[in-house]
Amino acid sequence: MNMGKLVFAQVTEHLPLSTFRRCVARYRGELRVRSFSCLDQFLCMAFAQLTFRESLREIEACLRAHTVKLYHMGIRSKGVSRSTLADANEARDWRIYADFAQSLIGMARRLYAQEPFGVDLSETVYALDTTTIDLCLSVFPWAPFMTSKAAVKLHTLLDLRGNIPAFIHISDGKLHEVNILDQLLPEAGAFYVMDRGFLDYARLHRFHQAGSFFVTRARANSPTQRRYSHPVDRATGLICDHTVVLTNPYAQHHFPAPLRRIRFKDLESANTFIFLTNNFTLPALTITQLYRCRWQVELFFKWIKQHLRIKAFFGTSENAVKSQIWIAVSVYVLVAIIKKRLNLEASLFQLLQILSVTMFERQPLHQLLTLKPADPLVSVSDNQLNLFDF
């Protein structure tokens, strides 16, 4: 008797499997693979992310307890062992899952293209930042950070419409965040909001020449000369709005164009901020609001570290770590796609919590995730016999 699909199978129905197969073929991921395919590996690792498993041993125990349901989950392997999954994480090219995550990101960004983010602006706005995941140097020698410490850095360009990561680069701990600007392809008309750790005039001038706009904070020792002053409303916290040029010969050589410097005092914290931007058309208060939205990327890092498995890794090699991070990103984006496609009001946190305890249920996914209480009234059929006749 058909009782409906498992919740896990309903979730993975939203995956573009044809795209996944192309990613596998691109990197010859299944060369000399007999039974445990790349899709099996991806589904097992996605199951671990959705159910908050902490180790390969936990994944093996959970899936072996439901061996008869593996086929209905989409896992074609007859059984999942810890050693088989560990070998797959070590050997299968992590770029398979990176490319597949990028295809999911493209789908999600189209779905969230009209999503508001707190500022009334039609242009695309990105927040750029880096987070560090600490590791043990003796276990992860390929990721040096300090003398006695290892780490991986997650460099992320977050699309503020829907908080979808548009670009992610995983590096060892020694790569400085400013170098990521070299790997970004500037998008004309888009805004890039970043902190002063990314303040490099030569790299920012490349964005300026491409027609992109940036918003960042000025360093205290950045010498500038005022050319024009624009009126501001001091009741909003704005102190000044100036058109300036750089006076340091080295900085002026790399960024000869004028910049806009805005000084702003936060009325709540009483802190004063100095912003630099190459956009001269937006109101000064809107520039300050854009920088405030940069906090969304910090919340994104905090969210994925708390609710996805990217701090404790199932393998120690570079390939295993990158594969796990990219699959975790795929799961995050997949849940965001489901939320938008099913028009769900629940937050991503609530959706993950519900999915974590219902993977083997057969309830319709939309009904499960709507967060509406079931109707307590049970309809009685006309041919139901009565126990007592009155």
pLDDT at 390: 43
Residue 34 belongs to a domain: yes
pLDDT digits (tens, 9 = 90+) for 13-27: 999 999 999 999 999
pLDDT digits (tens, 9 = 90+) for 172-216: 999 999 999 999 999 999 999 999 999 999 999 999 999 999 999
Co-location of 274 and 344 in the same domain? no
Residue 33 belongs to a domain: yes
Co-location of 271 and 343 in the same domain? no
Instruction: Report, as an integer, the average pLDDT of 317-333.
Output: 96
Residue 160 belongs to a domain: no
Confidence of residue 377 (pLDDT cuts 50, 70, 90): very low
pLDDT digits (tens, 9 = 90+) for 100-123: 999 999 999 999 998 988 888 989
Residue 1 belongs to a domain: no
Confidence of residue 34 (pLDDT cuts 50, 70, 90): confident
pLDDT at 219: 84
Q: Last residue of a domain, which of 261, 283, 305?
A: 283
CB half-sphere exposure, 212, CA atoms < 13 A:
20
Residue 371 belongs to a domain: no
Domain count for the chain: 2
pLDDT at 379: 45
Instruction: Report, as an integer, the average pLDDT of 319-325.
Output: 96
pLDDT at 384: 52
Scored b (16 or more CB within 10 A) or e, 170-195 reads: bbbbebebeebbeebebbeebbbbbb
Co-location of 203 and 278 in the same domain? yes
pLDDT digits (tens, 9 = 90+) for 48-71: 999 999 999 999 999 999 999 999
* Beta-bridge partner residues of 264: 238, 273
pLDDT at 267: 84
The rounded distance, in Å, linking the Cα atoms of 92 and 80 is 16
Q: Last residue of a domain, which of 283, 302, 334?
A: 283
pLDDT at 13: 95
Q: Which of 71, 158, 88, 94 is nearest to 326 (CA)?
A: 94
The rounded distance, in Å, linking the Cα atoms of 342 and 359 is 18
Co-location of 335 and 278 in the same domain? no
Co-location of 23 and 67 in the same domain? yes
The rounded distance, in Å, linking the Cα atoms of 81 and 64 is 8
pLDDT digits (tens, 9 = 90+) for 272-297: 999 999 999 999 999 999 999 999 99
* Cα 348 versus chain centre, distance: 12
pLDDT at 220: 77
Instruction: Report, as an integer, the average pLDDT of 244-264.
Output: 93
Residue 103 belongs to a domain: no
Which residue segment(s) compose the domain that 347 sits in? 7-95+318-365
Predicted TM-score (pTM) of this structure: 0.90
pLDDT at 269: 85
Looking at every residue in the chain, the average pLDDT score rounds to: 91
Residue 241 belongs to a domain: yes
Residue 210 belongs to a domain: yes
